[in-house]
């Protein structure tokens, strides 16, 4: 799987986010390309970010940098680790959901 942007390693860390838990890449709805983060997309893509609509949260759009499995947006938003290899994800990424995904329905 190709990951675009300022990628530092095979686990999808980038120059912007590179802690031990920064191991996911997001497939952007606007270009169908994986980037480690929104900053990489802004710096390397020639278009604006388009968020994933709620009705497409079943799409495979998250790449685990540890095992390279793809997760649906819904799977990713409801876990703190990869369901395939159990590698921990950075819980701080949730602060950026509004950049990648339309807001979830609130109960």
- pTM comes to 0.93
pLDDT at 105 over 90: no
pLDDT in tens, 41-69: 999 999 999 999 999 999 999 999 999 99
**Per-residue pLDDT reduced to its tens digit, 20-29:** 999 999 999 9
The full DSSP string for 16-81 is S--STT--EEEE-TTT--EESSHHHHHHH-SS---PBPGGGTTSEEEEETTT--EEEHHHHHT-SB
Give pLDDT tens digits for 64-84. 999 999 999 999 999 999 999
């Amino acid at each position: 799987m190709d990951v675009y942007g300022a990628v530092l390693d095979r686990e999808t860390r980038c120059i912007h986010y590179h802690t031990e838990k920064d191991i996911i890449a997001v497939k952007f709805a606007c270009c169908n390309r994986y980037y480690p983060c929104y900053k990489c997309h802004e710096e390397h893509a020639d278009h604006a970010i388009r968020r994933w609509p709620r009705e497409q949260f079943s799409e495979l759009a998250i790449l685990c940098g540890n095992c390279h499995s793809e997760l649906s947006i819904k799977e990713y938003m409801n876990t703190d680790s990869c369901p395939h290899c159990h590698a921990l994800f950075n819980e701080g990424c949730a602060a950026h959901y509004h950049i990648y995904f339309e807001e979830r329905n609130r109960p």
